[in-house]
Amino acid sequence: MITTAQLQSLTRPQLKRVFEALGNDLLIVRPTTTVNADGFDSPGVEVSAIVRGLLLPISTDRRVKLAATGGQLAIPAFEALLPHDAPVTEPGFVIRLAGVNYYPTADAIDEGSQGVLLVVPLAAPGNRG
């Protein structure tokens, strides 16, 4: 039986090569909020990270899985396949490609719970879902 550590050591380098060869530089944008002296919030500077990953139309299998759990996706819908360490495990981020925002419709999923790949379901480009 293969251990999680062995699976990670085998698949992470392979996945990195796939992302490098076929992926896009995806900008993970997380807006910040600051509190003014008068007590009101104001938008702050965007905090960003560039992650090499894949942005694809959502698969039929994923759509069926999300529907089974009560999730609904607009058509078209997308998903981002990202490395295990992409900064998308906390809510409040947007994925941007070529100036277009893709908003998450659910939390990032650690596919297979093995710490190898994160999958983020996304609404249609520019649609907040």
Give Cα 92 to chain centroid, integer Å: 11
d(CA 24, CA 101): 14
Topology, domain 4-122: Thrombin, subunit H (2.40.10)
| pTM, two decimal places | 0.75
φ, ψ (nearest 5 deg) of residue 18: -65, -45
d(CA 53, CA 35): 34
pLDDT of residue 1: 77
- pLDDT tens string for the chain (129 positions)? 778 788 788 888 888 999 899 999 999 998 776 656 665 555 666 778 999 999 988 766 766 666 666 665 556 689 999 999 999 988 889 999 999 999 998 899 888 777 878 999 998 887 776
